[in-house]
Structures are given as C-alpha cells and as structure tokens.
Amino acid sequence: MNLSLPDQNMHNALQGCPDDDKPELMLPCFRRNAYDEPLASYSNGPIISQLLRKSLHNKRALDESHYYLGPSAVSSSAVVADSSQEDRSSVSSKDSAADVGSPGFHPSTVASPEAERPVNDHLQAKRARVENIIRVMAGSPNSRLHGEPEKGEMDARDSRECREAREVYRENKRKQRLPQHQDHNPSDEGIENRRLSTGGGSGSSLDNTKDEECHKLKEQLQSMQKLLRQLQEKFLQVYNQEDSHRGEREDRGGCLEHDNLIQSKELSYLTNGNAFEKKPARGSPESKDRTKPAEGNLLNLRETKNLQDTLKGELSRVVNECVDKVFKNVSSSGLDLSPLRSMCPSPDVQTSGGAAEIRSQQGGCPPQEPPHPVEPPSHQRSLEGHGDTDAQSPQDQTEALSLVVRKPAMAPLCSVTPTTVKRPYPMHQPAFQFNYSSPLHDTQILEHLLKYGPHTNFSGLSCLPPSLERSSPDSGELPWDTLSMRSKVGPGHLGHHPRPSSLGSVTVDNLCLPHVKMECSDLQGMAERNPYLPAVSVALTHILHIQEGLNPNHLKKAKLMFFYTRYPSSNVLKTYFPDVKFNRCITSQLIKWFSNFREFYYIQMEKFARQAIVDGVNNVDNLSVSRDSELFRALNMHYNKANDFQVPDRFLEVAEITLHEFYNAISTAKDSDPSWKKAIYKVICKLDSDLPEEFKTSSCL
DNA sequence: GTTTGGCCTG
DNA sequence: CAGGCCAAAC
C-alpha cells in the first residue's frame, strides 16, 4: 500500500531511486509504507526518538488528511499524481504530468484535468488549500503536542490510530473511487517485521534521564507551538487582508497551487496539527460554503511570496532551533541514537522541505556526478522513470567508469571551490561550517542533518539566483516538476546532466544519485554504528558536495601535494581530500596517482643523473637542483603545470638528494642490480614533509 | 586476505 | 594516467 500517495514526489523518490536495489542505502521509511512502520520500539527509545517519531506520526497523519481534502483542496497535479502513479509500482513520475492529457488518464479519478478545470473550481481549490493551511495550523484537541501520553499508552495508541487511519483512508479512497492496487505489499511487511524485531529500544538504562528530557522537550515543543501560533495569526491577518484582492491573478495560480500545497504540508507537519481531522469533501456543504467560485481567493502573488518566505523562514528557524537543542541534549547525554532509524520522517517531509534544500544546495554549485562514458540501456530505462537500479547502482560501477571526473565547463573547479569546499553553504548560512581539519563526528553530522538536512526547509540557504527560486517570477510558466527539477539541479547542471522531467518532481530521490556509494569509509563507518545513517550519509554527500569520484581538481591538488609528500598514506589522503567520498576504488586511485607521480619523478631523476654522468659531472656536489634547473622545470611542468603554486624549497632539497642518490648509484654501477632503485626509494620515502593545512581546506590551491 | 608499491604497457 | 600484474608488507 502506498500511503504517501499525495506525495508523488516521494513515492518516486522510492521508485526511481537508483539505489532501489540497495535498500540498505535508503531511509527505512523510503522502503516501507507508512503504516507498516514498526511502532513497538517507540516506547523504548530515547526521548529524541519519541519526539521525532511523533513528528513522523503526525506528518504521516497529515498525509492522510490530504485524502480528506478532496480534489478541491489538493492541487490538481497532485491529485493526478495520486491517481496515476498509484497504479504503477515503478512507473516514472513523469507520467503523472503526462497523464493529464494522455488517453490513458482516468478522468474519473479526479474532478477534471487541469486544463479543463473551470476557473471557479480553481478558485475553490486555492481557497480550500489556504483553509487547509490554517486549519492544520490551528491544531486539534487530539494533537499529541497537547498532552504527552504515557509511553506504554503511546504504543497502543499509535497502533490503534494507525489502524484507524488506515481504515479511514481506505474508506475515503473508496469514496473517491481512486484505484488502489498497492495497499498491501507483503514483502514490505516482511521487511517491516524484520525491522520491528531489530528496532527495539535501547533506553532501559536511560530511564533516569528520560523524564528530564521529556520535560525539556515538552517545553521546547510548547515554545515552538507558541511561535507557530503567532505565525498562524500573522498568516490569518494577511489572509484576511488579501481576501479582498482575490481573484486577480488566477492565471498565475499554477505555481502557487504547488507552493501552497507544499507549504500546507510543511506547516501542517511543523505544527503537528490535527492531521487526522477530516476535511470536507469536495462538494460538501462546508466546502461549498467556504469557496466562493465567482470571486476566488487567490492571494496577491507578491505578498503571498513574502508571506510564504516569512513563514518558511520562521518555521525553519524555530524548528531548527528546537531540533538543535534537542539534539544537543541527546548528544551531550550520550544517548543512543540508533532508534532514530524508527522515526525517520515521512517521505513527504523530505519532499516538501527537502525540495527546497536540495534545490538550494545544488542550485548554484552543481554537484559533480561522474559522467557515464557509456550510457547503458538501464540508464535509458531510468530516464523512463524506473529508477537507476542497474548501472548506476553504487557497487556496480566501482571501477568501470573513468576515474577522473571532468566537471562541466560552466563550473570551473576553482570558481566552484569557494562554495563547494571552503564554503559548503552560501554566505548567508554560516551556521554550519564544515571543519575539514577535524574529524567528523557522528553527532556533528547528525546534528547538522537534523538542523539543515533533508528534512528541513533550505529555502533560506539557497545559492540559487533569485530567478531560480521556487517563487521565481517565471515559475508560473513552468510545470511544477520542471521547475522543481531545474531549481534542484541548478542552472548549469541541468544541461550537463539532464534529468528527465519525469524525475523532476522528485526531490529527495536525487539524494540517491548514482555516484553515491556506501563504501565511503567514514560515512559508512557511521552508518554501521548507526542504522539511521545510511540515508543520512547519502544526504550528506550531497549537502556537503562530497563526491565519490575524483575530478581534475583533485588531480591537480594531488600533484601539488607531491611537492611535499611522495609517499602519502591512505589516511593522509583521506584527510586531505575531505570532499571526496572515499572507497576502496577511490583510495586506490589516489594511491595510484602518487605511484605515477613517483614513477615520473624517479624517471626524471634517473634521466638527469645519467645525463650528468654523460655530461662529465664527476662530483655529486656539482649536481644541484634549483628553480632554474632543467630538472626542476621538468618536474614543475608535470606537477605544477600552471606554475601557479610556489614549490616549497624542501622539494628542491629532496629533488637534489634524489638526484644525488641516482647519480651515486649509477656512477657506482649499482644499476646493474635489478632492484638497485629500491635503496633510493627507501631514502626518498623518509624525506616526506608535512602537508600544509591549506590542503585540507581547499581542493583548488 | 588486503594493502601497497613498483614495473610494464597502452 | 590507468590497468594489469606481481611481490612484499601488514
């Protein structure tokens, strides 16, 4: 059963994820339907688990609420998506857009196709959505936030509500006559059962801290609610003001519809409102009463945007703060984070909030995906929306691809560096500066993930030019999925690595880009320690622009590093290439690079030593290496072609020593020994010097 | 068994 | 620069 139907995006995040065949790489919630999620572990997990789980639960409930909205309250495209994709377990989301006008589209499942929808319906829909926002924001007496049930009670309640919601959902689905072919997936359930059995709590030893934590969390949540209420009031205020302006910009409503839907979801999720509150079905007296078709209720576009931005910013800030605090508490108290696995937010959260995040992160600084020199047929299939499950699955491509990833010409490495490495986030987002000089800690990353990660709204972090923001003026001219995709992949990235619009409506699924591999040492280690983290690391890969492949910039950097170290250990390499997602292959490649560097280096040394002997140099002291030396020029040309790097004097010394070693060996006929170089290597490998710190923080010196 | 370095080849 | 191969070191 696919209960995330209102969210076509996330569904396809699952279906279209290239890592589909690697479930362990995905957030657990990506793989399972919401209601099959194990709930038993709830009672035993730490407070943070309960808190976030509640969010998940409420969000999940919110998803349900969309069914109650009826077509009038959900954007038509979303409805189309609901009805169209439900029938296909692995069909591209592009179909959702195409279905609107396609012969195969079933009009009975929706009120009417977008193109034929009367203007009045349009206005009704918009009004209903705004109503929905307010309604959800208003919360409900049943909201969990209003009372913290006992833990034991919570289990039963969760299960009960879960079942009830499922029943209501099914009933409602029948009412809407929506096709329902995926409401139960035994295999998924099997996965769930297994997860259930392993997702048990670990907080028995933490009971003493729970009450305290619980109290703190309650306070934080209450303050959050308070802030949200204030926001709600603001919203209502503006809404009432703008109600008189309604109907003016109906022709621009397409984008707003989506935005409102997204916003509605975000707000609803954040407010933990009465997600299960039944919305009047389209055509019901209540909804008719509320919708005045003739006048419509579109908000002024600009002010809507302002309001939208304000709300999003405020909400993001509040939630971020709260989560940050919570996480700090959890981190400082040493609580086990593993139960996070059982509370990963609903996919919708990632779709709504994550959309902006990924767009923001990737917009101005496109990540570097390794190009696929040979586009396999499976990729074509993926373009059809079946997901990149074959050739792009991480472990399938470890060695087949070109190991040096060329970046798109429009994103020269050096110009990208400030945003990709030195400044993973735009200037106006200083909150998280990735400190490459120090080892990453799980909590550090998790905290960031929770703070700015895929579940929060990154709208404020965008490095996109304003014209590409979600609320860009031209957004209304584009289908939502197109806009979403374009923003998501960035202005230049789209051309470089075109993605079908079928996947464009997907947001977080792009976290499952083919180059994401779980062999990464650090992140994988984290993932092993924390079952929740595989997906986190996937997200992190993108957020931090960690790339799996090595690009020419890395090569350049490695060459410059060679001036300092001829025999770097793999650990050193990992330390000094923090933006590289290391796996065995990458490590080997880097080591191979240095091996090649050495090869060239020693070849030059031998060559010049022999030349010196031929030239009649009879004393090694007459052999020196200076910056004017031909030997140095040759080396510099090889390792520092652009000559934009000041080669350290130490390298000249080492080069001279090496030259002397070769000269001595050759002049003493040691070169007759097949392994005569080994002695020289032994000497040279001890002459490595420490790398400057700058190498840690920049991939483009 | 894996990692690493070196050599050879393309 | 990468791949293959081999050997030494861990």
**Arithmetic mean of pLDDT, A483-495:** 28
Which residue is closest, via its CA, to the C1' of B8?
Answer: A599
SS3 string of A323-363? Answer: HHHHHHHHHHCCCCCHHHHHHCCCHHHHHHHHHHHHHHHHH
- pLDDT value, residue A316: 61
Looking at residue A276, the DSSP 8-state letter turns out to be T
In a 13 Å sphere around the CA of A372, the CA atoms on its Cβ side amount to 21
Check pLDDT > 90 for residue A331: no
CA of A456, C1' of C9: distance in angstroms:
48
Q: Choose the weakest-confidence range: A116-130, A277-291, A451-465.
A: A451-465
Name the nucleotide nearest A639; use CA and C1': C1
- pLDDT value, residue A568: 94
Q: Choose the weakest-confidence range: A7-16, A326-335, A429-438.
A: A429-438
Q: What is the pLDDT of residues A390-422, one digit of tens each?
A: 333 333 333 333 344 443 333 333 222 222 222
Check pLDDT > 60 for residue A95: no
DSSP string, A71-97: TTTS-HHHHHHHHHHTT-SS--THHHH
CB-neighbour burial class of residue A580 (10 A; exposed 0-12, middle 13-18, buried 19+): buried
Name the nucleotide nearest A599; use CA and C1': B6
Name the nucleotide nearest A558; use CA and C1': C1
Q: Choose the weakest-confidence range: A537-546, A624-633, A643-652.
A: A537-546
A596 Cβ nearer than 7 Å to chain C strand: yes
Distance CA A549, CA A514 (A): 11
Distance CA A393, CA A401 (A): 12
* Closest to A286 measured CA to CA, from A417, A174, A132, A148: A132
What confidence tier does A581 reach under pLDDT thresholds 50, 70, 90?
confident
- pLDDT value, residue A540: 56
List protein-proximal bases of chain B (any atom < 7 A from a CB): 3-8
**Arithmetic mean of pLDDT, A558-580:** 92
Q: In which region does residue A352 sit, left (phi positive, over 0), alpha (psi from -120 to 50) or beta (all else)?
A: alpha
DSSP string, A475-543: GGGS-HHHHHHHHHH-TTHHHHS---HHHHT--GGGGG-TT--TT-HHHHHHHHH-TTHHHHHHHHHHH
Q: Are A588 and A610 in contact (CB under 8 A)?
A: no
Check pLDDT > 90 for residue A596: yes
Check pLDDT > 90 for residue A590: yes
DSSP string, A655-688: HHHHHHHHHHHHHTTGGGSTTHHHHHHHHHGGG-
- Of the two residues A65 and A222, the one the predictor is more confident about is A222
Q: Choose the weakest-confidence range: A102-116, A302-316, A520-534, A603-617.
A: A102-116
- pLDDT value, residue A229: 74
Q: Are A182 and A189 in contact (CB under 8 A)?
A: no
Residue type (1 letter), A527: A
A592 Cβ nearer than 7 Å to chain C strand: yes
CA of A591, C1' of C2: distance in angstroms:
12
Q: Which two tokens stand for residue A522?
A: 């650090």
Residue type (1 letter), A621: D
Residue whose pair of structure tokens reads 């790339």 in the numeric block: A547
CA of A118, C1' of C2: distance in angstroms:
62
CA of A598, C1' of C1: distance in angstroms:
13
Q: Is the pTM of this model over 0.85?
A: no
- pLDDT value, residue A17: 32
Residues around strand B, C-beta < 7 Å? A 567, 569-570, 584, 587-588, 591, 594-595, 598-599, 602, 675, 677-678, 681, 685
Q: What is the pLDDT of residues A165-221, one digit of tens each?
A: 443 344 343 333 333 333 333 333 333 333 333 333 333 344 455 566 656 666 776
Name the nucleotide nearest A678; use CA and C1': B6
Check pLDDT > 60 for residue A623: yes
